[in-house]
């Protein structure tokens, strides 16, 4: 389990282990989130992104765990 700071940004959510890793003061700090709360695919993405960068960016659907469902699937 790893706790990350969560910030709301215009293009999604920024997750950073350290507050000083977020480059812009215009983001809104929302609190903390555990990496365990995400599915395995997103956990791997976070680990990969944070290995080389100060923060990771998730879309709203990744952050909330929403899977895209096409209401009119093509066959």
Other beta carbons less than 10 A from residue 15's beta carbon? 26
**pTM (2 d.p.):** 0.78
Please list the residues that pair with 7 across neighbouring strands.
14, 29
Q: How far is CA 9 from CA 15, 37, 57, 73, in A?
A: 10, 20, 9, 31
Per-residue model confidence as pLDDT tens digits over 15-64: 999 877 776 667 888 999 999 999 999 999 999 999 999 899 999 889 98
SS3 37: helix
In the prediction, which pLDDT does 20 show? Answer: 75
CB 47 within 8 A of CB 53: no
């Amino acid at each position: 389990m790893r706790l990350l700071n969560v910030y709301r940004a215009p293009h999604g959510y920024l997750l950073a282990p350290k507050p000083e890793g977020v480059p812009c003061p215009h983001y809104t700090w929302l609190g903390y989130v555990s990496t365990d709360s995400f599915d395995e695919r997103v956990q791997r993405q976070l680990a990969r992104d944070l290995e080389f960068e100060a923060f990771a960016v998730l879309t709203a659907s990744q952050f909330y765990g929403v899977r895209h469902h096409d209401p009119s699937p093509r066959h």
